[in-house]
């Protein structure tokens, strides 16, 4: 029997460092950036600008913050459940990064103003004025891209439920990587 990804130190190291980095950058933004201030890093293409986002991506659903909190908790529980049986290292690393992003933004929804479960997510990275995000958002995008690539390439996760949905084999002896 192979150990669960949740017992692997690398899984937790990635997750803890990811959440820590996200929260430290948000704390820095709150303390260092004043409302309306923009610091241009690469012209208009990349800048720092503090906003408090009550909605989801692109500030969608601003009046339903509590729904995003509930959805975040459900997604986090589903990811933790799924990763328990993942055997392929790149799969559980991707899930660890995705969890770091989801938990980073959930912390904001739970503990930022205006109140528990309705908190606004701290965003500070402006991409050419198109949207403003944070480190947790970067983790989520990178993890989803990695998972999409794994699915496209047919790399099995080792999780029977994911394999049933994607049609990929749940176990292979040549592609399974159980090292820490």
Catalytic residue among 22, 44, 108, 123: 123
For 16, the token pair is 């803890």
Known catalytic membership, residue 137: yes
Q: Which of 22, 44, 108, 137 is catalytic?
A: 137
22 labelled catalytic: no
User: For 128, phi and psi rounded to 5 degrees?
Assistant: 55, 25
What are the DSSP calls for 123-175, one per residue? EEEEETTTEEE-HHHHHHHHHHHHHHHHHHHT---S-HHHHHHH---S--TTT
**Gap between the Cα atoms of 31 and 89, Å rounded:** 37
Q: Which residues are catalytic?
A: 123, 137
């Amino acid at each position: 029997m192979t150990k669960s990804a949740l017992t692997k130190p690398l899984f937790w190291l990635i997750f803890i460092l990811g959440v820590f980095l996200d929260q430290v950058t948000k704390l820095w933004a709150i303390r260092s950036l004043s409302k309306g201030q923009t610091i241009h890093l690469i012209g208009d293409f990349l800048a720092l600008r503090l906003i408090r986002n009550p909605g989801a991506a692109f500030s969608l659903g601003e009046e339903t913050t509590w729904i995003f909190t509930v959805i975040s908790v459900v997604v986090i529980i589903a990811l933790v459940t799924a990763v328990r049986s993942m055997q392929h290292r790149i799969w559980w690393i991707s899930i660890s990064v995705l969890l770091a992003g989801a938990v980073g933004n959930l912390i904001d929804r739970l503990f930022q103003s205006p109140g528990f479960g309705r908190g606004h997510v701290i965003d500070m990275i402006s991409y050419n004025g198109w949207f403003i995000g944070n480190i947790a958002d970067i983790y989520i995008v990178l993890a989803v891209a990695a998972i999409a690539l794994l699915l496209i390439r047919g790399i099995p996760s080792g999780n029977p439920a994911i394999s049933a949905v994607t049609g990929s084999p749940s176990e292979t002896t040549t592609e399974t990587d159980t090292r820490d």
